Chain A
Amino acid sequence: MNSDLFFSSLQQGLILTLITYGVMIPFRLLNFSDLTAEGAYPFGGAISTSLLLANFNPFVSVLTSSLITGFIGIGTGLVYLKLRVNSLLAGIILSTMVYSVNLRIIGKSNITLFDSVSLFSTDDILNNISILFIVIFIIVVSIKLFLHTQFGLRLRAVGFNQDFAYRQGISITKYTILGLFIASAISGVAGSIIVQLQKYMDIGIGVGIVIHALAALMIGEAIIGNNTINRQILAPFIGATIYQQIQGIALSSGLPPSDLKFFTSMLVLIVIAMKEYGLTYRS
């Protein structure tokens, strides 16, 4: 395999890894089917774009856009908890609202950032991959440490059994919102990084991203399982990097890009079928 292809797929895979964490936390830890990443990812990108255009430090812009993006998760949580809207619908409503907000923030549907400073370079892909690895490492270690605290334990308890949590006096509202905030903040990091990496922001970057992330998550879980916390935490990384390699190989061996969405969804169905018939990892 051609090494350029490998590295560019790896780079894509590492970005997708971040989004997959943003999807794994609600889906797997909170048992909350959540589409907020569809809005959180471009929102992080849009905020980062405006910060970079205002000459903010690229590192500061990642942190700031991540924190602000976290609030979309809180919004989804509140719509779900207080208005009793279905979780998927709550995420779609917030993502739809954010689309307009993004247009307001960047002023048009796409914008280039060629003159802005960036954490990433245009020609040194290994440097970019190293930075991405560091970011992912920090996030993975933080998630792992968090899940081993009382807060993390209670968050998982809310995901497993709300009835139990309620009887133990654990606030379902507080922990659902905390989890969704963290998830959206991580998707925001991904959005902020992609615009710095591509030096380009497009309003449509979030379209279909949750499906990609879910595909990655399921592939990761099919390979290493998710029956322990460690496996669950590693699954997004393994799944997303492998998924992007598969996609890269498919495209380079002649799959027309217009067929990509069909290919992606087919892959999701294949993994689900494998799971159904016991062909995936079992403890």
Chain B
Amino acid sequence: MIKLENISKSFEGSFRPIINNVSLELQKGEFCIIIGSNGSGKSTFLRLIAGEHKVDEGSIFVQGTDVTRKNRNDYITSVVQDVNKGTIPEMTLLENMVLSYKGDKISGLSFYKNFRSNILHEIQKLGIGLEAYLDTKLMHLSGGQRQIIATVMAIISEPKILLLDEHTSALDPKIQRILMNYTISTIKENNITSFMVTHRLDDAIKYGDRLVMIHNGEIVFDIKGDKKSSITIDELLSLFHKYENLSLIGGKDE
């Protein structure tokens, strides 16, 4: 589905590449969890996939087509912590949701109110009462509610590849659970190829078919299948400590 070949990225003024010669391939429907400490390059990695940053070197293929230099917003969608990137506060919930239906599937001249029942159905699935706010401008909703909406919007846009960058981290634990369950079940149901960056190791163990750890811009750990399902939280923790220590030692000669 998606294949990254030796991609690298540096920013002006950084001593070493933020992403250094990374290769990774995901099959259709594969769900890849990305972990790593702060500053390891996880978010940059997702932005490179989304095309928000251009890679310096290497290539990105989606379904065999080289898309390295192409705009891929039509089929790669991301949900980030900043809700202003994912929603329009001045528009109502209905208007926001309709915008995420992708262009070629519906006529531009159809009235957007026609999608009301589809959208209502989609929001009711969440089971948190958001359907009452269908005609409310999002600026009147809470940050958590808007983040949930941004996630739902990303999913109903039926992307080929979905990128989730700690999309639940700003929410309270209860809403975090609800949003995570919704995310996971819809990803599975629609067989969407996904990447999810998370800081929560329990989530990293519980979800996904594949687990990748990024450290200093490189993939240092990559497991899937039985190995992924049998890994324990202690093993992950020791992995973290190993690389944290390494970087402390490595820091001396940098």
Give the most central of B99, B109, B113: most A CB within 10 Å: B99
Contact B73 A169 (CB under 8 A): yes
User: When the two chains form the complex, which single residue of A148, A149, A153 contacts B99, counting CB atoms closer than 8 Å?
Assistant: A153
A148 surroundings in chain B (CB, below 8 A): 111-113
Question: A149 to B110, Cβ gap below 8 A?
Answer: yes
The answer to whether A168 and B99 touch across the interface, beta carbons within 8 angstroms, is: yes
A161 touches B73 (CB 8 A): no
Chain A residues near B157 (CB-CB < 8 A): 168
Given A150-B98, A153-B99, A160-B91, are A167 and B85 neighbors across the interface (CB < 8 Å)?
A: yes
Q: Is the CB of B109 within 8 A of A169?
A: no
Please tell me if A151 contacts chain B, counting CB pairs below 8 Å.
yes
Q: Which residue of B71, B100, B101, B111 contacts A149 across the interface (Cβ within 8 Å)?
A: B111
CA gap between A155 and B27 in the complex, in Å: 36
Whether B95 sits at the interface, judged by CB under 8 Å, is: yes
A157 to B112, CA, bound (A): 13
A162-174 CB mask vs B (1 if < 8 Å, else 0) is 0110111110000
A24-36: CB near B (< 8 Å → 1, else 0) gives 0000000000000
Residues in B whose Cβ lies below 8 Å from that of A169? 71, 73-74, 102-103
Interface centre among A151, A167, A168 (most CB of B within 10 A): A168
Q: With A149-B108, A170-B103 given, can you name 20 additional A-B contacts, CB distance below 8 Å?
A: A148-B111, A149-B110, A150-B98, A150-B101, A150-B108, A151-B108, A153-B99, A153-B112, A154-B108, A156-B95, A157-B99, A160-B91, A161-B84, A161-B88, A163-B85, A164-B84, A166-B73, A168-B99, A169-B74, A170-B99
A sample of 30 cross-chain residue pairs with beta-carbon separation below 8 angstroms, ordered by A number, consists of A148-B111, A148-B113, A149-B108, A149-B109, A149-B112, A150-B98, A150-B103, A150-B106, A150-B108, A150-B112, A151-B109, A153-B95, A153-B98, A153-B112, A154-B108, A156-B91, A157-B99, A160-B91, A161-B84, A163-B84, A163-B85, A164-B88, A167-B85, A167-B86, A168-B73, A169-B71, A169-B74, A169-B102, A170-B99, A170-B103
Q: Which of A156, A160, A169 has the most B CB atoms < 10 Å from its CB?
A: A169
By a CB distance below 8 angstroms, the chain A residues around B106 are 150
- Give the CA-CA distance A168 to B98 in the complex, in Å: 11
User: Which residue among A148, A150, A161 has the maximum number of chain B CB atoms within 10 Å of its CB?
Assistant: A150
Looking at chain B's contact residues, the main secondary structure is loop
Q: Are A150 and B107 in contact (CB under 8 A)?
A: yes
In the complex, B90 has a CB within 8 A of chain A: yes
B243 nearest CB across to chain A (Å): 32
Q: Which of A150, A157, A167 contacts B73 (CB 8 A)?
A: A167
Hey, which bits of chain A sit against chain B, CB under 8 A? 148-151, 153-154, 156-157, 160-161, 163-164, 166-170
Instruction: State whether A150 and B91 are in contact (beta carbons under 8 Å apart), knowing that A163-B85, A170-B99 are contacts in the complex.
Output: no
Inside 8 A of A156's CB, which chain B residues have their CB?
91, 95
B147 at the interface (CB under 8 A from A): no
Chain B interface (Cβ < 8 Å from any Cβ of A): 71, 73-74, 77-78, 84-88, 90-91, 95, 98-103, 106-113, 157
Once the chains are docked, how many angstroms separate the CA of A96 from the CA of B95? 39
Q: Point out the residues of chain B lying under 8 angstroms from A167, CB to CB.
A: 73, 77-78, 85-86
Chain B residues, CB < 8 A from A160: 88, 90-91
Contact present for A157 and B85 (CB under 8 Å)? no
Report, nearest first, the 4 A-B pairs whose CB atoms are least far apart. A169-B73, A151-B108, A169-B74, A150-B108
Report the Cα distance A156→B87, complex, angstroms: 13
B112→A168 contact, CB < 8 A: no
Please name the residue on chain B nearest to A148 by beta carbon.
Answer: B111
Nearest CB in chain A: distance from B81 CB, A: 14
Least Cβ–Cβ distance between A280 and chain B, in angstroms: 19
- Known contacts A150-B110, A151-B109; is A157 also within 8 Å of B103 by CB? no
Specify the chain B residue showing the minimal Cβ separation from A166.
B73
CB B194 to nearest CB in A, in angstroms, measures: 17
Most buried by A among B85, B101, B113: B85
For B108, the chain A residues whose CB sits under 8 A away are 149-151, 154
Least CB distance from B74 to A in Å reads 4
**Cβ of A122 to closest chain B Cβ, rounded Å:** 41
What is the CA–CA distance of A154 and B73 in the complex, to the nearest angstrom? 15
Query: Given the complex, which residues of A lie within 8 Å of B91, measured CB to CB?
Result: 156-157, 160
Assembled-state Cα–Cα distance A159/B71 (Å): 21
Residues of B near A154 (CB, < 8 A) are: 99, 108
Question: Smallest CB–CB gap between B147 and chain A, Å?
Answer: 14
Q: Are B109 and A150 in contact (CB under 8 A)?
A: yes
Min Cβ gap A233→B in Å is 16
